[in-house]
């Protein structure tokens, strides 16, 4: 990841300068990074971007040209510039492992450090986490719709800039795509890359048949032909079959065809019949053309004969939900040497934060190994798996569930401790495999593409009581 020290909102710097001016910059605080709503009407969110956050923190320092620029703004004095010149991140960050499935209001990252350093990193953490988690979740939904068929990420040309293309490809593979068309992402993250030809290749030759023959000559063992440039069924598929026969006569087997336009359900069925009749039953049919989970589901329902799906714009931009609304909120602050829980109050109950220094436990059924619910607790709380565990809805408290044969997993793990990296870094493939296991641990009801069941995320009794006390202490006066 590039040097990103100035990848921050200006008000982060003005607040940091304010802490310095008020002799508060070394006071300790705790921030939680979380989101309030799953993206894309999903029942879950896949956390992606931890590896890039590690890169950001490890490279966080200010160079003289950056300090000169900040000085030129006329807002900051030399004392602030000197503080940045000597800046080193020394805080402690706990977070979930990359690839973990999470739900609204759960801390994905818990950042503990000085006012100065925790304020600086807010914008970059959200920028990285919001984007990659969004694309990984969108990819997982598309892969779910494909029902075991391979999904290829094809979105670089439509991505909102180079970084969105590169890191979006990474996130898409984490979410379940088998490959990407993005060569830079392939090199950077050791991803499988794929691609064949565009319509321009076909147009460049005097005829479609000659274009197909030229491609087959160049790639006799990887020949997958784009058949919809002129007329899919009258020309494209027959010409492909002719070239496939010529390949077979030379001892090579074709890969298949790609359809990028038209009525894909109808065209794929007809193409399948033609390929089978010609003796190419193993030739695959790949579809592209503005696909998403809804379109793939519809094509599946119509029994389209598609073996693989190339998904571009709607995946790399998460077109129906272009942002994940992650936030970074203060949950505790130092007063006279002690960390005091803090809460944000709002007329909107969804925006009232969970105070204090917290962790999260995932509750698994021992027999089925499926995730049953999550419990957000205060960090000091100890849960005994040998005893029944009763949880309750944080708003409708009469809704209760008791677990007896269960196991617990603490989700927040150390990433940085006093500025030192302690987290085991993982390859993109390892993270992808974790996502697969995480999704397998969820009941199908939580993975429905439309109107999924809401996964239980409750507060421990101690945390719930702390929150109620702080709400009562900070009640908003009635509005006239």
Domain 10-135+322-473 has CATH 1.10.3720.10: no
pLDDT along the chain (480 residues), means of 10: 89 98 96 97 98 97 97 97 97 98 98 98 98 98 98 96 97 98 98 96 98 98 97 98 98 98 97 98 96 98 98 97 96 91 90 96 97 97 96 93 97 98 98 98 97 97 96 72
pLDDT of amino acid 474: 85
**Residues shown for the chain:** 480
Q: Which CATH architecture has domain 136-316?
A: Alpha-Beta Barrel (3.20)
Q: Tell me the C-alpha distance between 389 and 401, whole Å.
A: 8
Give the domain ranges of the chain.
Answer: 10-135+322-473, 136-316
Collapsing DSSP to helix, strand or coil, 284 comes out as: strand
Q: Tell me the C-alpha distance between 225 and 213, whole Å.
A: 10
Work out the mean pLDDT of the chain and round it to a whole number. Answer: 96
DSSP H or E segment with residue 294: helix 293-301
Q: Could you tell me the sign of the dihedral formed by the alpha carbons of 130, 135, 136, 138, in that order? A: positive
pTM of the model: 0.96
Tokens 């993270």 correspond to 431
Q: How many CB atoms lie within 10 A of CB 249?
A: 8
124-161: pLDDT as tens digits: 999 999 999 999 999 999 999 999 999 999 999 999 99
* Whole-number Cα distances in Å, 323 to 35, 329, 352: 11, 18, 21
* Residue in 321, 317, 309, 318 with CA at minimum distance from that of residue 146: 309
208-258: pLDDT as tens digits: 999 999 999 999 999 999 999 999 999 999 999 999 999 999 999 999 999
Q: Tell me the C-alpha distance between 137 and 131, whole Å.
A: 10
pLDDT of amino acid 1: 59
């Amino acid at each position: 990841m590039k040097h990103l020290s100035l990848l921050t909102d200006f008000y982060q710097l003005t607040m940091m300068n304010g802490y310095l001016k008020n002799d508060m910059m070394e006071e300790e605080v705790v921030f939680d990074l979380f989101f309030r709503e799953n993206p894309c009407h999903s029942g879950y969110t896949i956390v992606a971007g931890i590896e890039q956050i590690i890169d950001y923190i490890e490279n966080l320092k200010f160079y003289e040209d950056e300090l000169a620029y900040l000085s030129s703004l006329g807002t900051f004095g030399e004392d602030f510039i000197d503080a940045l010149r000597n800046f080193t991140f020394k805080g402690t960050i706990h977070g979930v492992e990359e690839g973990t499935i999470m739900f609204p209001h759960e801390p994905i990252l818990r950042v503990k450090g000085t006012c100065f350093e925790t304020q600086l990193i807010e914008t970059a953490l959200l920028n990285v986490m919001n984007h990659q988690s969004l694309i990984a979740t969108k990819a997982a939904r598309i892969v779910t719709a494909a029902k075991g068929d391979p999904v290829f990420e094809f979105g670089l040309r439509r991505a909102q800039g180079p970084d969105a293309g590169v890191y979006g490809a990474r996130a898409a593979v984490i979410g379940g795509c088998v490959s990407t068309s993005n060569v830079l992402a392939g090199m950077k993250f050791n991803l499988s890359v794929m691609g064949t030809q565009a319509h321009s290749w076909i147009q460049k030759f005097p005829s479609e048949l000659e274009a197909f023959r030229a491609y087959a000559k160049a790639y006799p063992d990887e020949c997958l032909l784009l058949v919809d440039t002129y007329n899919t069924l009258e020309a494209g598929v027959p010409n492909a079959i002719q070239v496939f026969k010529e390949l077979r006569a030379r001892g090579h087997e074709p890969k298949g065809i790609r359809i990028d336009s038209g009525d894909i359900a109808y065209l794929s069925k007809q193409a399948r019949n033609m390929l089978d009749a010609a003796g190419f039953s193993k030739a695959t049919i790949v579809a592209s053309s503005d696909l998403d989970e809804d379109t793939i589901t519809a094509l599946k329902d119509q029994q389209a004969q598609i073996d693989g799906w190339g998904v571009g714009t709607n995946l790399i931009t998460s077109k129906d939900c272009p942002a994940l609304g992650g936030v970074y909120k203060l949950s505790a602050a130092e007063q006279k040497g002690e960390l005091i829980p803090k809460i944000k109050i709002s007329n909107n109950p969804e925006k009232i934060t969970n105070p204090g220094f917290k962790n999260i436990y995932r509750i698994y059924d021992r027999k089925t190994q499926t995730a049953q619910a999550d419990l957000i607790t205060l960090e000091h709380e100890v849960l005994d798996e040998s005893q029944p565990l009763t949880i309750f809805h944080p708003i409708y408290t009469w809704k209760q569930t008791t677990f007896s044969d269960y196991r617990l997993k603490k989700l927040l793990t150390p990433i940085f401790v006093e500025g030192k990296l302690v987290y085991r870094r993982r390859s993109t493939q390892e993270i992808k495999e974790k996502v697969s296991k995480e999704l397998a641990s969820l009941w199908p009801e939580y993975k429905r593409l439309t109107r999924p069941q809401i996964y239980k995320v409750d507060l421990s009794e101690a945390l719930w009581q702390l929150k109620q006390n702080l709400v009562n202490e900070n009640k908003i006066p009635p509005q006239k």
